[in-house]
A = this chain, B = another copy of it.
Amino acid sequence: MVSPDTAEAPYARVKRFLKDGLERGEWPPGALMPSEAELVARFGVSRMTVNRALRELQGEGLVERSQGVGTFAAQRHRLASTLTIRDLHEELAARGQQHEAEVLLKAEEAAPPALAERLGLAPGAPVFHTVIVHRADGLPLQLEDRYVNPAAAPGYLDVDFATTTPTHYLLQVAPLWEAEYSVEASAASAEEARRLAIAEGDPCLVVVRRTRRLDGPITIARLVHPGARYHLEGGFRP
A176–B177 CA distance with the chains assembled, in angstroms: 31
- B48, B83, B206: which contacts A81 (Cβ < 8 A)? B83
Q: Are B76 and A180 in contact (CB under 8 A)?
A: no
Contact B78 A90 (CB under 8 A): yes
- Per the bound structure, the CA–CA distance linking A17 and B211 in Å amounts to 22
Q: Which of A165-217 contact B (CB under 8 A)?
A: 168, 171, 175-187, 201-206, 211, 213-214
Contact B175 A231 (CB under 8 A): no
Give the CA-CA distance A80 to B28 in the complex, in Å.
30
Is A22 positioned at the interface, with any CB of B under 8 Å from its CB? yes
From B83, B168, B179, B202, give the contact of A183 (CB < 8 A): B83
What's the interface size class on A, roughly? 35 or more
A43 within 8 A of B: no
Taking CB atoms and an 8 Å cut-off, the chain A residues in 33-51 that contact chain B are 48
Are A79 and B85 in contact, with the CB atoms below 8 A? Answer: yes
B234 and A175: CB pair below 8 A? no
Chain A interfacial positions (CB closer than 8 Å to B): 19, 22-23, 25, 28-29, 48, 59, 62, 76-87, 90, 168, 171, 175-187, 201-206, 211, 213-214, 225, 227-228, 230-238
> Can you spell out 21 A-B residue pairs with CB atoms less than 8 angstroms apart?
A19-B176, A22-B176, A23-B176, A23-B213, A23-B214, A25-B175, A59-B59, A62-B176, A78-B84, A78-B86, A81-B83, A81-B85, A81-B179, A82-B83, A83-B85, A178-B236, A184-B205, A185-B205, A187-B227, A203-B204, A211-B236
